[in-house]
Structure 1
Amino acid sequence: MNRERPGQGFRGNKSALPTKPCVVCGRPMSWRKRWARCWNEVRHCSDACRRGTPR
Structure 2
Amino acid sequence: ARLHLWYGEPMTVPEKAGSEELERCRLEMEGRLNNLYAQAWGEFGKESHDA
Q: What is the TM-score normalised by the length of structure 2? A: 0.22
More strand by share: 1
Greater relative contact order (CA < 8 Å, ≥ 6 in sequence): 2
Q: What is the TM-score normalised by the length of structure 1? A: 0.21
